[in-house]
Amino acid sequence: MWEPDNAREVAECLRDAAQEHRALNIVGAGTAQYWGGDIRASTTLRIHKLDSVLRYEPGDMTIQVEAGMAVADLQSVVADHGQRLALDAARIDRGATVGGMLATADQGPAQLAFGGPRDLVIGATLVLSDGEIARSGGHVIKNVAGYDLARLVSGSLGTLAAITDLTFRLHPIPAATGTLSIETGIDEAVTYAEAIAETALEPVAAEWISGRLLIRFEGTRSGVHERLDAAAHITGVGTSILDDDEATQAWAQQAAVSSRNGHSAQDTTTLHGLARPSDVSSIVHAAERSCLEHGAVPTIGAGLLTGRVDLRIDAATLSAHAATVDQWRQDIESHDGTVTLRDRPEGLTDLIDAWGEPPSAVAALRAVKAAYDPGDLLGPGRFHPWF
């Protein structure tokens, strides 16, 4: 395990690794180690010691921090100024780092309003596989000078470059937040969410978790109340407007679907499905069907207006996991969607591929990988069988 203290040392690590042809597994807090394929690397490069704020300009609402800083720590720094990084991925509670957020492109319910990490990042420093330093973007929220390498590494899962610092656009913390809840099946939930989206009520999140619809609003205290009432009028009987404690609990339940404590448990697989919002209900039904057929127990969370379906499978045998994943993946792919394998029992990737149908641009993905990491030293195996 290599644990460099600063960006200069990260560059030295990568240079040494290149000289020794040593493959590296780059990690932050290690909360997404099993996402994608199995990495064939004997050395782990942990960047968690790069955890300082490099530059915070509250007046500009931008912050530059080292990549190993925990998102939660960043949030507490900027909260003092009434600001936040508008990311609410479940892993944040487990110490996920800002670099890890971008490398995994991980997103939470607020992606409906704010997008993902790549929509908030405005600058980055990368260390390439040969130790070369590359900076892109900068400190201003509007900037089109040069290629956007910060966005290129979004979703790269540690296979393109080591990220050593990131600059983000911040948003104000709203005066009030409110959540509406109704127990309902997925089909009605989609209908309700779409009806609310058709108004100009501007929900910031709309999630369905195993039989319950949650809609979140942000704004002024009176404005949030007005909109909660208007939305409750649409969802009708059985709707409750949650108090703060209830809301915290409800959103924690939502987060639990896609994030587990601990690492590769033997009986649980988590999958991340992406599709058109209008296909969410059929994809949720497909998940239930796959699990039923193979004797697995599903826990499902769906981003209704974003087209995200997180599926957690609990099953006794490896083959039940594999069969469930395979069937659900085929279903989503028939809807032009994708599935990413996240945490899973050891050995699962011996039975099924970590990734499904390659995208039409897979040759371009390979070319980019070859351009930045010609020796395939960064996270080899992560995108197997795509490359």
Partner 1 sequence: MTLTETTTDTARDDDTFLDSLCGRLRPGAVIVDPTALRTYECDGLTGFRVTPSAVVLADTTEEVRQAVLTCREFGVPYVARGAGTGLSGGALPTSDGIVISLQRMRAILEIDPRNLRAVVEPGVTNIDITKAAAPFGLHFAPDPSSQQVCTVGGNVAENSGGAHCLKYGFTVHHVLELEVVLADGSVVRLGGVNREQPGYDLLAAFVGSEGTLGIVTQVVVRLVRNPATVHTLCADFPSITAASEAVTRIIAAGIVPAAIEMMDALAIEASEAAVGAGYSLDTAAALIVENDGPAAESKVEFEAVEQICRDTGTTKIRIAKDSAERAMIWRGRKAAFAAVGRISPDYIVQDGVVPRTRLSEILSRIGEKAAESGLRVANVFHAGDGNLHPLVLYSEAEGQLEQAEELSREIAELCVEMSGSLSGEHGIGTDKACSMPRMFTESDLAAMWRLRRAFDPEELCNPGKLLPTPRLCGEKPGVYVPHALEVSGDIERF
CB of 79 or CB of 316, closer to partner 1: 79
- Give the shortest CB-2-to-partner 1 separation in angstroms: 17
Q: Which amino acid is at 53?
A: V
C-beta of 2 vs 383, nearer to partner 1: 383
Q: How many positions of this chain bind partner 1 (CB under 8 A)?
A: 92
SS3 content of the chain, % helix, strand, coil (to 5): 35, 25, 40
Q: Which of 20, 40, 79, 172 is in the footprint of partner 1 by CB under 8 A?
A: 172
Within 221-240, which residues bind partner 1 (CB under 8 A)?
Answer: 222-223, 226-227
Give dist(CA 128, CA 353) in Å, integer. 28
For partner 1, give the closer residue by CB, 40 or 221.
221
Distance, CA of 198 to CA of 28 (rounded, Å) = 40
State which residue, 133 or 297, has the beta carbon closest to partner 1: 133
Give the contact letters, 261-290, x = binds to partner 1 (CB under 8 A), - = no.
-------------xxxxxx-----------
Contact (CB, 8 A) for 296 and 353? no
Nearest residue (CB) to partner 1, 140 versus 252: 140
**Binds partner 1 (CB under 8 A): choice among 143, 240, 249, 334:** 143
Q: What's at 236, amino acid-wise?
A: G
Interaction with partner 1 in 19-38: which residues (CB under 8 A)?
A: none
CB of 49 to partner 1, least distance (A): 16
3-state SS of 28-77 is CCCCCCCCCCCCCCCEEEECCCCCCEEEEEHHHCEEEEECCCEHHHHHHH
**Residues numbered 356-375 forming contacts with partner 1, rule: CB under 8 A:** 359-361, 363-365, 367-372
Closest CA to 186 of 285, 271, 110: 285
Cα separation, 234 vs 341, in Å, equals: 36
Minimum CB separation from partner 1 for residue 330, in Å? 16
Question: Which residue lies nearer to partner 1 by CB, 284 or 318?
Answer: 284
Question: 209 near 280, Cβ under 8 Å?
Answer: no
Which is closer to partner 1, CB of 150 or CB of 315? 150
Confirm or reject binding of residue 201 to partner 1 (CB under 8 A): yes
Output the smallest distance, CB 104 to partner 1, in A. 10
Of residues 120-139, those binding partner 1 (CB under 8 A): 126, 128, 132-136, 138-139
List 40, 79, 147, 195, residue binding partner 1 (CB under 8 A): 147
| 35/33 Cα distance (integer angstroms) | 6
Interaction of residue 241 with partner 1, rule CB under 8 A: no
Q: Is 306 in the site for partner 1 (CB under 8 A)?
A: yes
Three-class secondary structure of residue 155 per DSSP: coil
Q: What values do phi and psi take at 44, rounded to 5?
A: -100, 130
Q: Smallest distance from the beta carbon of 7 to partner 1, in angstroms?
A: 7
* CB-side neighbour CA atoms (13 Å) of 25: 19
- Nearest distance, CB of residue 284 and partner 1, angstroms: 15
235: nearest Cα among 212, 218, 253: 212
Residues 40-99 contacting partner 1, CB under 8 A: 54-55, 57-62, 64, 82-83
Could you give the C-alpha distances from 18 to 13, 27, 129, 240, 332, in angstroms and in order? 9, 18, 7, 58, 39
CB of 127 to partner 1, least distance (A): 10
Interacting residue with partner 1 among 113, 141, 265, 297 (CB under 8 A)? 141
Nearer CB in complex with partner 1: 3/194: 194
Nearer of residues 251 and 383 to partner 1, judged by Cβ: 383
d(CA 355, CA 358): 8
One-letter amino acid at 267 equals D
